[in-house]
Amino acid sequence: MTALDPGSAAPLARDLGSTANRPPSLAVPAALKAPVLGWDNLWPPAGAGLPAITDMANRSYTTSGRAALLAALRQLALPAGSQVLVPTYHCPTMVAPILRAGLTPAFYPIDADGLPSLDGISHAQAAGARAMFVAHYFGLPKSLHKVQSWCRERGMALVEDCAHSYFGLAGDRPVGQWGDYATASLSKFFPVSEGGLLASATHRITPTGLTAPGWRAQLKAAVDVLEVARRHRRLAGLSHLVAPWGWLKAMAGRTPQAGAGAAAENLPQDEAAMMADCDMGRSEQQISAVTWALHASLPRQRIVQRRRENFAALCGLLQRAAGAAPVAAALPDGAAPYVMPLWVDGEARADAVYAQMRAQSLPVFRWDRIWPGTPADPQDHGQRWNRQLLQLLCHQDLSAADVARLARQTQDILGRC
C-alpha cells in the first residue's frame, strides 16, 4: 500500500478558495459521468503499467458486464435452479444474470474490507451453492486467496466480478486470475457505449452463440461515441462530419435503460421491473465493431494514470469533509480505480446528501436499489454501504478543474446537511 501524497491535491485545494469568495456552484456536466472519446485518448502509446483482464488468453466479448456474468454461468452449465452466492452489496445487474440463467440467487454478507464474510455464510447455504460471485469493489482489488480456497473446499465455482477493476493486482495475482472465470465492463473504463468481457486463466471458453448486431445497431454504436464526443468538443475538426448522421441514430435507437447510478427512490423496486431495467435481452448479442476497435486500439497508460491522479486528488480534498471520509486513505500501487468511495455519517444525512448531489448532476451514485429478498443483517457491512457509501467517479476524462469543482460542491452539500 502506498499512502496518498497530500501534496498531490494541493493545486486543486487552492482552487477551492474560501467559502465567502466562491462563485455559485456549477454542476459537473452529465456526460462526464463516463469516459468520452477525444484526441487526447490516442496517446501516449505505452502500456498501462498494470495487468489487465485482457492479459488472459481465454476471453470472449459481450455487450456488457452483466452479459459477461450470464456468459460465465452458461460456461459452468449448472443444473437448473442451482444456487449462486451473490453479495448483499450489489447492483441489480449482478443479480439479473443469475435469474436469466434459470438459477437462484443466495445472498451473503460482506466484511468491512468488502470481501465475503465467510463466517456469515451458513453451512446449509454453502452446501447448496454451486457458484459464487465476488466483486472487486470501486477498482480497489484485494487478494481472493482465502475465498478461492473456501470455494475449492466446497466444490464451488468462483466468478470474479472485475466490472470495477479492469486493471490491477489483487494481492499477488493480476485481477481476474483468482476465479474460474472473470468478467469486466468495457464502458466503465473506455469511451464506448457498451461492452463487456468474459475471461479465464484456466478454462477454455466454449463458443457463446451470440448473434451479430444488425447494421442499425452497428451504426448507432458508432454514432453514440462520436456524438457524445462532438457535444463535448472532444474531437475538434470532426464535428461537421458527425452532425449529419444524428438522424440515422434515431432510426437505430433503443429505449434508454435506467443506469446503475439512477436514484432508487425514482425506480420501481419489484423484481420484474429490475429485470426489465437490466435489459438482459441484449446479452444475447455480440458487441459492435466500433466497440471492439476502440477497445483494441486505444492506449491504456492515460486511463490508469489519470484515474489514479483523480482518486488521489478527491481523497486529499475530502479527507476533512464535515461528517464524511474517503473509505480508502491510501491507493494501492496495483489499482486503477473506478470510483472514489466516500462514507457519509448517518443514514438520513447520507440520503439528504445524495439527493442534493444528484439534483446538481454530480458524477456520483450509490447502490441503494437492493434486490427483493436480500436479507437484512445488522452485522453485514453491505446493509450500511447501500445508503451511506457514495461512489464519486474519478475517470480519466474528468479534468483537474472538474475534480476540484466536484470536491467543492460535495463539501458545500455536506456542510448544509
Tell me, what's the pLDDT at 365?
95
- Give the H/E segment covering residue 123: helix 123-128
Amino acid at 415: G
Domain positions in the chain are 2-41+299-416, 53-200, 211-254
The CATH code of domain 53-200 reads 3.40.640.10
Q: Residue 101: which residues within 8 A CB-CB, separation 6 or more?
A: 70, 73, 74, 78
| 185 vs 167: CA distance, rounded Å | 11
Note the pLDDT tens digit of each residue in 18-50. 333 333 334 444 547 899 999 999 888 777 789
- Across-strand partners of 295? none
Number of Cβ within a 10 Å radius of residue 202: 10
Contact assessment for residue 114 and residue 124, using Cβ atoms and an 8 Å cutoff: no
Record: fold of 2-41+299-416: Aspartate Aminotransferase, domain 1 (3.90.1150)
At residue 23, the pLDDT reads 35
Task: Annotate 217-248 with DSSP letters as a single string.
Answer: HHHHHHHHHHHHHHHTT-STT-HHHHGGGHHH
Q: Spell out a b/e string for 230-249, using b for 16 or more CB atoms within 10 Å of the CB, else e.
A: beeebbeeeeeebeeeeeeb
Distance, CA of 19 to CA of 200 (rounded, Å) = 51
Q: What is the pLDDT of residue 243?
A: 60
pTM of the model: 0.88
pLDDT at 181: 98
Which one-letter DSSP state was computed for residue 264? G
How many helices (H) and strands (E) the chain has is answered by 14, 15
The CA-CA-CA angle for residues 396, 400, 403, to 5°, reads 80
Amino acid at residue number 322: A
Residue 342's DSSP bridge partners are 326, 390
pLDDT at 323: 96
Peptide bond into 44 cis (omega under 30): yes
pLDDT at 74: 97
Chain centroid to Cα 263, Å, comes to 16
Low-confidence ranges of the chain (pLDDT < 50): 1-29, 31, 254-263
- Specify the residue for cell string 463539501: 411
